[in-house]
A and B are shown apart, each in its own frame.
Chain A
Amino acid sequence: METHDDLRAEVLSFIRRGLDAPPGEGVFERLALAVFEYQLSSNAPYRRFCDRRKMSPGSVAHWGDIPAVPTAAFKEAALVCGDPSAAEIVFRTSGTSQGRERRGSHYISDLALYGAAALPNFRAHLLPDGTPMKMLVLGPTLDMAPDSSLTWMLDRVCRAFGTKDSAHFLGEDGLRFDAIISELGESESAERPIMILGTAAAFAHLLDELDERDRRFQLPIGSRVMETGGFKGAGREIPRDKFYARLTQRLGLSELYCVAEYGMTEMCSQFYDNVLYERARGHNPALRYKVVPPWVRTQVVDAESLEPLPSGEAGLLRHFDLANLHSVMVIQTDDLGIASSEGFEILGRASGAELRGCSIAMDQWLTAQR
């Protein structure tokens, strides 16, 4: 067996081929199996998880057979290779919507690898034209939210690709609307494109405020939006098409410049909409979908049996992420999606299913206990 350093070097060079590299099936297969072996030997809770399922390198012939860990497991165990206390940082799930429920923890012992996967992926999908831009982040600074993976990533992104006057616009009392609106006006009048980044909930608040003030902007061509996550905290769900219609109407952007990011605390790699990426290559994207980077594989599995589904059938998303080298490579989400030959589409969160009556299930109970 190769050393961990060798394996890390190989994974890193596979990732560094970039977003345009061919999938490299053979290499991915070999690396995935090697990562599985490494994680079995060094990640104690994962090893016990696999032992109980009688899964070992001997019984796994294909990357698709590697046991997947449901995201909820990250709430209970330090799923990391080696000593958890040696982690460089621990990212935690927000856990704000479920009262006393525990937060998931992703122990990161290799931030360099994290960045090596995150930054080129972001650049390919948000800045395919390659120019640094002024970035307005509708979220906290790293000081305010040091254990948020999204905040960490946006911090890195701003430092790598943002101009010096990029800034965060979340204060103690919420979004600093006056400052944001003044930035929007300045971008419009100076004809200097900007990128606005934040959660869908933050954008919903901003749109409400612009409605309230009856403000409308025509941001210069090239301006763009990266939005992520659900509408947690916004008090309501907004259908995606309505959301984009409002964004384009209030900010004067084309929908092709609105890019949704899909990421999770438990994963080092992220997924982005194809729209801007394809446009930069001269295509006019007919469908919006999430692009799977060459170092990641995404399966859609049946929610009941957890068996892979044929392309085109809706099920739960399961991700195989080589960048999760030092934690758990295969993550079973409770996100509903549909695979396509190009990538996948997200249909929403499967959990928190509607309940049928007077019994009370966990979600409601936890909410009630707050």
Chain B
Amino acid sequence: MLYCDGSMADGPALSGYWLPDLPGLDLEVYERPLGPGHVPLRLPMLTPRALRQILTALKANRAEFLARRSLLEIVAAIDAAARRLTTPGDAYYDELVTVLPQLTGYSVRMIEIGLERMGAAWKAEALHGSLEGEFGTVDVLDDFQPREPRGFQRAFGAPLTTHIFSGNIPGVSVASLIRALCVKSAAFGKTAAGEPYFAVCFARALAAEDPELASCLAVTYWPGGSEDLEAVAFSEAGVVIAYGADETVSGIASRVPPSVRFIGYRNRLGAALVSRGSLKRADVPSLARNAALDVVTFDQQGCVSPHTIYVETGGETEPLDFARELGVALGELAVEIPRGTMAPGESALIHQLRAQAEMRGATVLASEGGTEWTVILEDRVEFEPSPLNRVIQVQPVGDLSEAVTALESIGRHLQTVAIAVAADEVSALAARLGAIGATRLVAVGEAAWPAPHWHHDGRFQFLDLVHFVDLDTD
């Protein structure tokens, strides 16, 4: 069991890796401070040769313990591990709530909320629902199933799936590993300096519940640019999944062998659309609070986070009053869910942008004495990315179609659009947003929390990881 009493500076450094037991593999371990919090982690000194041994072992373990397991059993084990990570009072949960804020800089409350909301997607029922949603029947992962109009089919995950994580949102790494296990693929995860710990903790919790399954997982960190290690991790895998900035993901894509399937999750941007009909005076405080929650959650670091809110004029509440309510809600949430720690550059950027917007004639509503929250109301319709960390722009529009036009310019980067419109307006607006590249439309307030069964960047979570085998012997 891992040592953790919250006084990491004095205690032994946390272990930042999970590797299968391998007789004869004796790795040197070194310490390195990681994350915005510079928390020292113990890490193995990997060589390409050692990594190849590890990945070979993962594939052997997978053949023995994972490939022949029923999906129901696998999902049950994941569920049990996920409960330990997300149930207050459990040692694993308590450890995450202690370690992640120090490591990532996010506030304790933010981490608690993140564990609760993300954990829900890792429970058996949610996983089962997501798998059925994509495969029709999950039995197709266990055996050949009849298929229309004739013949049979079965889905096979790759022997090994390699994951290259980004460090912005804790827990995305765990979701990614879980997806691979669900298609009976061994999973290797390379963590990011920004959040190198959650995936390791998941592997340990899984080992406590189901050591055989956990022997099909390996997680570790190495500094970006270690191309000799990457080459092994890529060539040994059947599928490589990478998360990160456009440049990072493109770089990885160029190094993955052509015979290996590559899935990249790149830079994405979000926005929100608010119709005049949803600006009834009585509804505005809760609407503003929901919009503020989308901004506050993980301090806009996520690909799902909104950067600009387009608000229709002519409703019971005008955009200026909506912006004021939004400021009030952000002020309250600054206390309820404190923002993470800021690098000097992040704060400086916000001060500069506030002044720039002010000089341009925008209305700047902002926290006093610091940069906790900023609302910039400006009479122009143009998408502009936020400097993040709770800076949100509000742009009045005569009609939401103007907002759709503005968002069209970022189509390749567009992902989540949170909408507050009347029920009978939803489908027409959704059709327009979908056509310009949005891949997720949700109610304002839910932007930060994708449904367990979502199409991440418009793609399948599980189907992308498998190959189907057709059996047509008649």
Chain A residues at the B interface, C-beta cutoff of 8 Å? 45, 49, 52, 69-73, 75-77, 79, 303-306, 314-316, 332, 334, 336, 349-362, 364-365, 368
Asked if residues A350 and B345 are in contact (CB atoms below 8 Å), the reply is yes
* Residue ID in chain A nearest B247 by CB atoms: A364
Output the residue of B244, B300, B358, B386 with the most chain A CB within 10 A: B358
Asked if residues A356 and B348 are in contact (CB atoms below 8 Å), the reply is no
Kindly identify which residue among B192, B268, B344, B356 contacts A303, using a CB–CB cutoff of 8 Å.
Answer: B344
Q: Interface readout for B26-48 with A: 1 if CB under 8 Å, 0 if not?
A: 00000000001000000000000
CB contact under 8 A between A358 and B168, given known A52-B358, A304-B371: yes
Kindly identify which residue among B36, B166, B369 contacts A358, using a CB–CB cutoff of 8 Å.
Answer: B166
- Determine the chain A residues whose CB is within 8 A of the CB of B353 once the complex forms: 72, 362
Min CB distance, B295 to chain A, in Å?
A: 12
Min CB distance, A248 to chain B, in Å?
A: 30
Could you tell me how many residues of chain B have their Cβ less than 8 Å away from some Cβ of chain A?
47
Output the residue of A69, A71, A77 with the most chain B CB within 10 A: A77
Asked if residues B356 and A75 are in contact (CB atoms below 8 Å), the reply is yes
Kindly identify which residue among A356, A365, A368 contacts B166, using a CB–CB cutoff of 8 Å.
Answer: A356
Min CB distance, B368 to chain A, in Å?
A: 10
**CB of B351 closer than 8 Å to a CB of A:** yes
Q: Flag the segment in B82-90, B301-309, B459-467 that touches A.
A: B301-309
* Residue ID in chain B nearest A315 by CB atoms: B344
Min CB distance, A23 to chain B, in Å?
A: 28
- Determine the chain A residues whose CB is within 8 A of the CB of B343 once the complex forms: 350, 353-354
CB contact under 8 A between A358 and B346, given known A75-B356, A304-B370: no
**CB of B326 closer than 8 Å to a CB of A:** no
Question: Which residues 266-287 in B have Cβ within 8 Å of A in the complex?
Answer: 266-269
Asked if residues B267 and A332 are in contact (CB atoms below 8 Å), the reply is no
- Determine the chain B residues whose CB is within 8 A of the CB of A316 once the complex forms: 344, 348
Asked if residues B301 and A72 are in contact (CB atoms below 8 Å), the reply is no
- Determine the chain A residues whose CB is within 8 A of the CB of B342 once the complex forms: 303-304
Bound complex: CA A358 to CA B415 (Å): 11
Bound complex: CA A303 to CA B352 (Å): 11
Pairs A-B, 10 closest by C-beta atoms: A357-B168, A353-B345, A357-B166, A303-B344, A76-B359, A356-B168, A72-B352, A70-B355, A360-B267, A72-B356
Bound complex: CA A354 to CA B344 (Å): 11
- Determine the chain B residues whose CB is within 8 A of the CB of A352 once the complex forms: 345, 349
Asked if residues A359 and B305 are in contact (CB atoms below 8 Å), the reply is yes
* Residue ID in chain B nearest A353 by CB atoms: B345
Asked if residues B347 and A304 are in contact (CB atoms below 8 Å), the reply is yes
Output the residue of A73, A304, A315, A316 with the most chain B CB within 10 A: A304
**CB of B243 closer than 8 Å to a CB of A:** yes
CB contact under 8 A between A359 and B345, given known A45-B359, A77-B359: no
Min CB distance, B262 to chain A, in Å?
A: 16
